[in-house]
Structure 1
Amino acid sequence: MRERGYVWLGAVLLSGALLAGCAADGASDNSTSGAAGKAAAPAAREAQQDAGAGAATQGKDTAAEAPDLRVDQRSIVYTGSITVQVKDVNAAAAQATGIAGGSGGFIGGDDRQSGGDSTGTATLKLRIPADKFASALEQIAKLGTEKNRAINTEDVTEQVVDLDARIAVQQARVDSGRKLLGQATSLNDLVMLEKEVATRESDLASLQAKKRRLADLTALSTVTVVLLGPDGVAPVDTSDPSGFLGGLSSGWHALADSLAILLTVLGALLPWIVALGLPAWGVLYLRRRYVRDRAGPRLPTPTTETP
């Protein structure tokens, strides 16, 4: 019984030692994981702060890049035409050129028809800054008697915004292509990347040219000035009318054009018809006559009388 009691006592002591070791290991693991968690928490918070700051920065950039679509900030192309009857065409043309120069613009075209002092005409194409478009027209109208005026506007704001976005994207593609070109390690990669970068740069240059063209049209308006002498006649609008009369006029002109084309073709074929048709008709006539002469006269067909 004593020996059996010693055995049980040893087993109890061994079990307690094992349990104490496991508890110590668990405590050490918990402390280690807690320390790791405490060390990782600031990093996670810092990452979240960086992400939040990045999102805020992105939001600010997006808000900054949003186009300003107010009326005074829109891109508008102004074009106009005005016809003025003046006493002296050349003097009025010089004054109109001076008005354009005084407004910060220039003359883009000058077409003059000399018909004497009273019937001469001049057609000027002036480029005037958009903010001085209306005042320049008023000054030109005061050179004489205004006959007619027309003003057209075209809002190209959406085109400008679209071009800006496309240019930004294409510029980023060009920059990335150049970066990859600097990292090329083989001749094949170098040739391929050079071709790709050249294509991207060409597309970027095309977009930038379109942007400059729109910028020129919006910055400088185009005004066509027609100056008439005292006895000059304003040019008549020769555009086709619409409606029934327009359709009738178009049909008549189409018929006349078709007949003109048909007569032209007939005139071109007539010499060939004469040169080839007459010999062919002569050969055919002689052949028929030869066949008829060779056959000889025909005998009358006998008739039988019935009693």
Structure 2
Amino acid sequence: AKEAAPGSAGSGTGSGARSGSRATAPPKLTASIIRTASLTVQVKDVPKALEEARTRTENAGGYVGNETTTRDAEGRERTRVVLRVPVEKYDEVLAELEGAGKLLDRSAKAEDVTDQVVDVESRITSQRASVARIRELMDRATKLSDVVTLEGELSSRQADLEALLARQASLKDRTSMATITLSLSETPVKKPEKKEEGDPGFLDALAGGWNAFVTMLRWLAVVLGAVLPFAAVAAVIVLLWLRVVRPRLPRRPRPASASASAPGSGSAASALGPLPVARSAPESAPARESGEED
């Protein structure tokens, strides 16, 4: 019996140690993960694909968030919508959205926030205990000054507690509901290839000539518009020259004409002397002599 005592004691000690180790073992935590995904899908009909995405989300227990719809320069519609779905249905809904059309881009992200969740829960527990202590002190306070001081402290600690509760709610929402940002764009319509054109006909030539004529008139109008200011200035300068400047200029004397110089020709001739006489006169002298003899 004495030998059994140490054994029993030892067995008791061992069982106590094992029970103590179980008591001090940290509790198993559930991972808290924030899941987000972004999809860009090309579809034939954007409104129809958007309605199907809404239906899938609501059937999964989620809801539709922000939505933006635009149109590009070619008139194609683009829609961006934020979907919130439960984490349990996240993979299923994501696969359905990817198969709605041609997948152009996909990105997924998983952020582990387990430490933040545990920290916030611990701080909330401590803050609640602190608020309870302040309230107990207020119940025991007898002086007005102590009551006023405790009320200020209570308000501050309650504000901190409300901030922690709001953060806890945000983490719970983000970890329980996954966020999927879906971008839908229309499939570009292929333009028909141009057929090879044959030889141009009369109408084609007429249209080409008319286009060339219109283009020429357009260029003439442009040139006229560019030259018109300079032409107006030149016309004003010429008009001023003819009407104002030219009449005031001194006139030059006119050169003497042939008729005007006739009266003075005698004086000029007398100054130069007699004109030479023709030498044919001496040849007529014998003829006169022969006449006299007869």
Normalising by the smaller structure, the TM-score range is 0.5 to 0.7
Q: TM-score of the superposition, structure 2-length normalised? A: 0.55
Give the secondary-structure state (helix, strand or coil) at the position aligned to 2:187. coil
The CA distance in 1 between the partners of 2:180 and 2:74, in whole Å, is 24
> Residue 186 of structure 1 aligns with which residue?
143
Map 1:19-30 → 2, pairs under 5 A: none
Which residue of the other structure, out of 72, 77, 80, is the alignment partner of 2:34?
A: 77
> Residue 60 of structure 2 aligns with which residue?
103
> Residue 214 of structure 2 aligns with which residue?
none
Identity %: 36
Which residue of the other structure, out of 129, 149, 152, is the alignment partner of 1:195?
A: 152
> Residue 140 of structure 1 aligns with which residue?
97
The CA distance in 2 between the partners of 1:166 and 1:129, in whole Å, is 27
> Residue 130 of structure 2 aligns with which residue?
173
Report if aligned partners of 1:160, 1:211 keep a CA contact under 8 Å in 2: yes
After superposition, the Cα gap between the structure-2 partners of 1:92 and 1:117, relative to the gap in structure 1 and judged at 3 Å, is farther
Which residue of the other structure, out of 183, 203, 206, is the alignment partner of 2:163?
A: 206
Shift of 1:89: 0.3
> Residue 84 of structure 2 aligns with which residue?
127
Map 1:278-289 → 2, pairs under 5 A: none
The CA distance in 2 between the partners of 1:141 and 1:194, in whole Å, is 56
The CA distance in 1 between the partners of 2:116 and 2:140, in whole Å, is 36
Give the secondary-structure state (helix, strand or coil) at the position aligned to 2:108. strand
The CA distance in 1 between the partners of 2:100 and 2:122, in whole Å, is 45
Using the TM superposition, name which of 112-121 and 216-225 deviates more. 112-121
Give the secondary-structure state (helix, strand or coil) at the position aligned to 2:61. coil
Letter aligned with residue 172 of structure 2: A
Map 1:208-287 → 2, pairs under 5 A: 208-231=165-188
The CA distance in 2 between the partners of 1:125 and 1:162, in whole Å, is 29
Q: TM-score of the superposition, structure 1-length normalised? A: 0.53
Shift of 1:188: 0.5
Give the secondary-structure state (helix, strand or coil) at the position aligned to 1:81. strand
Shift of 1:218: 0.4
Report if aligned partners of 1:125, 1:224 keep a CA contact under 8 Å in 2: yes
Letter aligned with residue 145 of structure 1: K
Letter aligned with residue 68 of structure 2: D
Give the secondary-structure state (helix, strand or coil) at the position aligned to 1:92. helix
> Whose radius of gyration is greater, 1 or 2?
2
Superposed CA RMSD? 2.4
Matched, 1:68 2:25: no
Which residue of the other structure, out of 91, 96, 117, is the alignment partner of 2:48?
A: 91
After superposition, the Cα gap between the structure-2 partners of 1:88 and 1:159, relative to the gap in structure 1 and judged at 3 Å, is same
Letter aligned with residue 89 of structure 2: K
The CA distance in 2 between the partners of 1:109 and 1:117, in whole Å, is 25
Letter aligned with residue 206 of structure 1: A
Map 1:30-69 → 2, pairs under 5 A: 60=23, 66-69=26-29
> Residue 255 of structure 1 aligns with which residue?
none
CA offset digits 1:25-47 (Å, max 9, x no partner):
xxxxxxxxxxxxxxxxxxxxxxx
Shift of 1:189: 0.6
Aligned length: 172
> Residue 13 of structure 1 aligns with which residue?
none
The CA distance in 2 between the partners of 1:67 and 1:90, in whole Å, is 49
Give the secondary-structure state (helix, strand or coil) at the position aligned to 2:28. coil
Shift of 1:115: 4.7
Letter aligned with residue 87 of structure 1: K
Shift of 1:68: 2.4
After superposition, the Cα gap between the structure-2 partners of 1:116 and 1:91, relative to the gap in structure 1 and judged at 3 Å, is farther
